[in-house]
Chains A and B, each alone.
Chain A
Amino acid sequence: MTFANEIPLLLLLLVTAAGAILVKDLMSAVLLLGSYSFTLSLVWAWLGAVDVAFVEAVVGAGLATVLFLLTLFGTAPKDTRLRRPPPSLTTLIVFPLLGVLLLYAANDLPGFGDPNSPASVHISPSYLEQSYQDTHTPNVVTSVLMDYRSLDTMVETVVIFTSGIACALLLRRQSK
């Protein structure tokens, strides 16, 4: 088993995710989601994706929790307590089937760290070899994001900008 050290983390991930769904109080659900993001960032860091772990910790565990909490403070206490109806028969049949289907499809994925997988042989070798000569940037992730794929990143920035504008337009209207 290559990932034996991760099993406690993955169990914690499952427990916090299930807790966030099952808990009755929305405030507790938000805090559980925060701890879920933090555990997920530990998993990313363990897998070596430090940049992703960084974003997950800062945005998922920090910023998103604050935004959720601010939204909850704007609601009445009776709105934050949930009464969940029991899941319908369709849900109980379809979702396990979907899970089995995904697990079956995951068999076809290349193994973790496989040097012959398409992701490792297609274009990443040329990035890894030429990135420093091309851009004088030791971090290959940054040079791919901000130089080779700069237009994508610009449109992502447009998305963030648009979300800020949309929030301002929707939420600041009630002011006197």
Chain B
Amino acid sequence: MIRPHDSIIVQTLGRFLIPVVQIFGLYVLFFGQYGPGGGFVGGVILGTGMILSVLIFGHDASRSQIAKDILHGDGVGMLIYAGVGGLCMIGGGEFLNYSSLSIPGLEEASRRSLGIVLTQIGVAVDVAVTAVSIVFSLSAEEIIEESING
């Protein structure tokens, strides 16, 4: 169980830094097609922002509520990734062949680009949830049970 940090400097800096970290994570996630970055790194940065809020404000703070809620999403990232693959099969192609995603009005290359974005979101969600989940496992046995069961 992690208690809120005492120092006002750390608290103020965290209040300022965490939104910046989250926005940077989203930027890295969606800029992965144009520069360095992508789903894995973006997901880790998003997860790190939530871990930072848990470390600074403690488990009970309302600021850490997102980090607690996201634990229910374990496996959603996997589902998004495999779901895109399944949609490709429904569209009549091979598993994860994005060019057979059945979206009208898009040429083949744009459909593949869209498939890359969707699967990257899946990877990011999976990685972020796993990072937060491991940190919670290492630090807060009682809190976890309360937040999931009660």
Q: Nearest Cβ in chain A — how far from B76, in angstroms? A: 10
Which residue of B has the minimal Cβ distance to A70?
A: B138
Size of interface on A: residues with Cβ below 8 Å to B = 47
Which residues in A have their C-beta under 8 angstroms from that of B98? Answer: 147, 150
Pick from A133, A136, A150, A172: contact of B144, CB below 8 A: A172
Interface residues on B, range: 35 or more
Tell whether A116 is near chain B: CB-to-CB under 8 Å: no
B113-A135 in contact (CB<8A): yes
How far, in whole Å, are A176 and B1 apart by their CA atoms in the complex? Answer: 14
Could you tell me if A150 and B96 are in contact, using CB atoms closer than 8 angstroms?
A: yes
Using an 8 Å CB-CB cutoff, how does the interface string of A137-176 with B read, 1 for contact, 0 for none? 1110111011100110110011011011101101110111
Q: Which residue of A133, A141, A145, A164 contacts B130 across the interface (Cβ within 8 Å)?
A: A164
A126 within 8 A of B: no
**A137-B33, A172-B141, A174-B141 known; A157 vs B48 contact (CB < 8 Å):** no
Q: Are B135 and A142 in contact (CB under 8 A)?
A: no
The stretch that binds B, out of A23-31, A51-59, A80-88, is A51-59
The B interface is mostly helix, strand or loop, or mixed, namely: helix
- Nearest Cβ on chain A to B119's Cβ, whole angstroms: 5
User: Within 8 Å of chain B (Cβ to Cβ): is A19?
Assistant: no
Q: A54-B37, A63-B131, A70-B138 known; A136 and B78 CB under 8 Å?
A: no
Contacts of A135 in B (CB 8 A): 109, 112-113, 116
A168 to B71, CA, bound (A): 11
Residue in chain B with minimal CB distance to A150: B96
Query: Which chain A positions have C-beta within 8 A of B41?
Result: 51, 54-55, 58
Query: Using an 8 Å CB-CB cutoff, how does the interface string of B107-150 with A read, 1 for contact, 0 for none?
Result: 00110110110011011001101110111011101101100000
Task: Indicate the member of B40, B44, B78 with the most A CB atoms within 10 Å.
Answer: B40
25 contacts between A and B (CB under 8 A): A51-B36, A54-B41, A55-B40, A62-B48, A134-B109, A135-B116, A136-B110, A137-B113, A138-B34, A141-B36, A142-B32, A142-B33, A143-B116, A146-B120, A150-B98, A157-B122, A157-B127, A160-B126, A160-B130, A161-B77, A161-B78, A165-B74, A167-B137, A175-B141, A176-B142
